Structure 1
Amino acid sequence: LAVIWLFWLLRVLPVNSDISVKCGTKTMELSILLCPVYYGGYNESLMSLNAQYLKAECHGRADWSVNPPVLKFSFPITEEGISITQEVGTGHFSDYSSVQSVNISGIIVSVDPSAGTITYRQELMYLFSCRYPLQYLINNTDLSVLAVKDNNGSFISTLSMQLYEDGNYLKHLKIPEGGLKLKTKIFVEVKATNLTERFNVLLDRCYATTSPFPINSTSYDLFVGCNRDGQTMIIANGGKQEARFSFEAFRFVEHKNMTVSVFYLHCATRLCEKAICPSLLPVTEPPLRSRSRYLDMALHLAHRTHQPLT
């Protein structure tokens, strides 16, 4: 510890590396190095979230068991701390004219109990933020992924896709080894769980491909916006925290010499504010400059259709 303190004697002001941020789906976690806090004449009791010194829940907890010691903050993501930004889609979602993101920011700041008209202490201030994109590609029914990189989080771990065999969405679809019969109705639900009620689920596009990875794969759109396949029915979309549709089992023509036709289901999904969701529902088909965009986070569910014997 003495070596660490000697090192921090050379430091006067905190730098970016003094704080680390973890952007979770339910909570945000911060860790601040304690040595520069003590060197600045403060301690853990004099640091608080958003200058809320009188609230116990806004104070951190000192962890002296790690090297170097840190001051830890953990607080839930609430609607009060959320701001929504809207921008033109880029990268995987460059086909979309409007993509929303959640931004959460705040400050950890010191209080000087001895300050009067003047003070000789340098105020310590740590700014932090997390950005959560609200556009995702859901590829299967089981995978749960939380991406934490560059202080950006993801709500994809709250999203799931399930298949059902009934319109009441009560009985999960079980695909037999021999596959499903052609024109078997399949009910699909993309659902958000453990997510603030501020957001709804909106499906922009759902499609099937002959390969788990859509790149260089034959694809067939079940629906894109309001344009849909004749056998596809959009049951609920954008109005709740679950979106639902149904389609009928089919075969890809390129599988004509195969007993079982295997295909993979993908849904481009976004989380949108309830008030904004209706304005995001497209009335015409958006341009599809690339029909095989794919996010690197997929294990896929195969849907099998049975070829009738002749």
Structure 2
Amino acid sequence: MRKPELVVITGVSGAGKTVAMRAFEDLNYFTTDNLPAEMLPEYWRLMQKQNPVINAAVVIDLRSEKIFTDLSHVVQKMLNQNQDQAYQLKILFLDATDAELVARYKETRRHHPLSAGAGTLDDIKKERHLLDNIKSLATEVIDTSNFGPRELRKNILGQYGDRQAHSNLFKVQVMSFGFKYGAPLDADLVVDVRFLDNPYYDPKLRNHTGIDQDVYNYVWQSTGAEEFYQKELDLINWALPRYKTEGRSTLTIAFGCTGGQHRSVAFAHRMTQALQNNDWPVTEYHRDMQRRKDNGQQV
């Protein structure tokens, strides 16, 4: 049985601690930012009282310099008290070269937390000196000089997430919508199927939806429907592993027709079934399917 884990995220300012914390949050760690060092033991005692016990990740850095100076002593004491290894205490130290840190501060136009007018490079050197003790206790040091946010997130997911948990991070949502109600703002891929024959113009089908068998059959008998679907399916099957490798947690694929009741619903429904058959974690959502036609406008 895997022991509960407390990860202390620390390191030089600008090295990526916020990105790291969000990655741990995606791994279902309970995350806390800017925790005073002296509160760490009590914080962890509270976490261990949860049932089941949860993993936690906390960011402790130099935003409060006076409190931070106690961190190495606090961590060493916790290590000494954990001789029976009832839990795993890990110190993740994020670092980067001075040149890269200076470049990041210039890019973001933010001041170093120790800024006192001496210049960013001098502030970084002062911070490194203050961090020497806690860095010596680190269980892992990651140099993020050549990492963007995506690469750092991917590194942490690989280091701290077991295979099953990492796999479960990526989810696909297939949805339908009507363009007349606006395209979904959160869609990653938008597919327009308005070129297909519209069941709206058949009075027998007008008030049905793409889930209903008669409408579903009508859509797939449309000229080009099957060929277009197969091409989209091939593209999506090719792209999904690459989106997952990129480090995405969610991908939303949206099929749109005029009103989101007929053609887009049939496409989204069939695509969902195909992706489920290929073992992708997928959900199906029909945003506008239940809307009623407005003043005789086509749906």
Question: When the two structures are superposed, what TM-score results if normalisation uses the length of structure 1?
Answer: 0.28
Q: With CA pairs under 8 Å and 6+ residues apart, which has the higher RCO, 1 or 2?
A: 2
Question: When the two structures are superposed, what TM-score results if normalisation uses the length of structure 2?
Answer: 0.29
**Structure with higher strand content:** 1
**Structure with higher helix content:** 2
